[in-house]
Structure 1
Amino acid sequence: MWSPQIGGVPATDAADRLRWRDVPPGPALWCVGTHGGAGESTVALALGARTTDRTWPQTPTGTAPARVILIARTSAYGLMKAQAAARQWAAGEAGTAQLLGLVLVADAPGRLPRPLRELAQVISGGLPATWSMPWVEPWRQGETPTLDHPAVRALRAAVPNELYQP
């Protein structure tokens, strides 16, 4: 696992920091939305993970760290919030959370505009891994993501989670 102690990463502005939240120890995978509307609940449902309401989960001293996946939309705002969370983690300001990577959730159908693609690539370069969740119109209209949906299967195949049922 890549260490978050990266030399020279400045502390984040207090206004951009995600808060910390105590969680019980255990094997849970935690989804951390970097902004409201990021898709934290949808991705958590797809991965069989738990949500933190945009906070870094902290386990009790002496227990395994919480395994975390950041969630952000691919809008400019969402990407900037993902970048701030990544910077917070890289500066060592995410507490004991073990960051596995970032899921970028499409904010609209179709290909990302070039400036957003480039920003996503920059952010991805500073994280252990990045995965994508495509736009799924039925989910926008209230359909629940199911394990048989191709987007869910693809994400579950990519994201490490030993809790998946075979």
Structure 2
Amino acid sequence: MNLRRRREPASPGIGVVAPAESLRAPIWDRPVPGVGRAPLVWLLGVHGGSGATTLAHVLAPAADARGQWPGGFERESPYVVLVARETISGLTRAHDLLRQHHANLAGPSLVLGLITVAARPGRVPPEIRRYRDVVGSLAGRVWQVPWFEEWTLVESEALPVWSPGDPVAMRKRRMDPLDEVPVEIGELGVDLVAAIRTCIGTPGAGEARP
């Protein structure tokens, strides 16, 4: 499965109902801990095992928000991308947090979109594809990351890292995802940086709110 990008969905704000308080992610009341650098974008894993920690390692501009909305403290980026596994439960959790954001209950964060991570190799079941489209309509942008079997066999620290300015590999060339950044990850990184630049250059952009 290739990383595919969909943009400009219909306006999602009308009729969005805030989730119950028990279904909301908390907001950090201090700077996000454990981050040694100021990231361009936060990856908010909406559930355990979403893949946010791994993606935060392989994407140099990103950092793991550790399951909570950033609080907007000094020097912290306001930009957030939600991360969920392509399962019904994972997408439901993403839906909850997107509704929280649209209800202005997620602090000062600006949601750039949603990354869904394959839960298994092979084709995505049609039920998951349909639900992903429904949830994605609230996200603004949706990026889909395929299954990398090799990534399951090592710790995140052993994976290659993409940085802005790095060339994106050719799709037709075979590569080892433990030695080189997969083309889908390079394209994701380029997209995220471009989305942030668009937001910086367009006041109010990036706020997927009513």
With the shorter chain as reference, the TM-score category is 0.7 to 0.9
Q: 1:110 to 1:124 in 2, by over 3 A?
A: same
Q: State the shift of 1:64 in Å.
A: 7.3
> Who is 2:182 aligned against?
149
Q: State the shift of 1:105 in Å.
A: 0.6
**Runs (5+) with no aligned partner, structure 2:** 1-8, 33-37, 163-180, 198-210
Q: What root-mean-square deviation, in Å, do the aligned CA atoms of Structure 1 and Structure 2 show?
A: 2.7
> Who is 2:110 aligned against?
98
Spell out structure 1 runs of 4+ moving beyond 6 A.
none
Distance 2:39 2:118 in 1: 28
Matches within 5 A, 1:67-86: 67-86=79-98
Distance 1:110 1:37 in 2: 19
Letter in 2 for 1:17: R
After TM superposition, the structure 1 stretch with the greater mean CA deviation from structure 2, 99-108 or 46-55, is 46-55
> Who is 1:158 aligned against?
191
Q: Is the 8 A contact 1:103 1:131 kept in 2?
A: yes
Larger Rg: 2
Q: 1:5 to 1:155 in 2, by over 3 A?
A: closer
> Are 2:54 and 1:52 aligned?
no
> Who is 2:170 aligned against?
none
Aligned length: 160
- The two structures have a TM-score, normalised by structure 2, of 0.68
2:16 maps to which of 9, 21, 24: 9
**Runs (5+) with no aligned partner, structure 1:** none
Percent identity (aligned): 30
Higher fraction of strand = 1
Letter in 2 for 1:58: G
- The two structures have a TM-score, normalised by structure 1, of 0.85
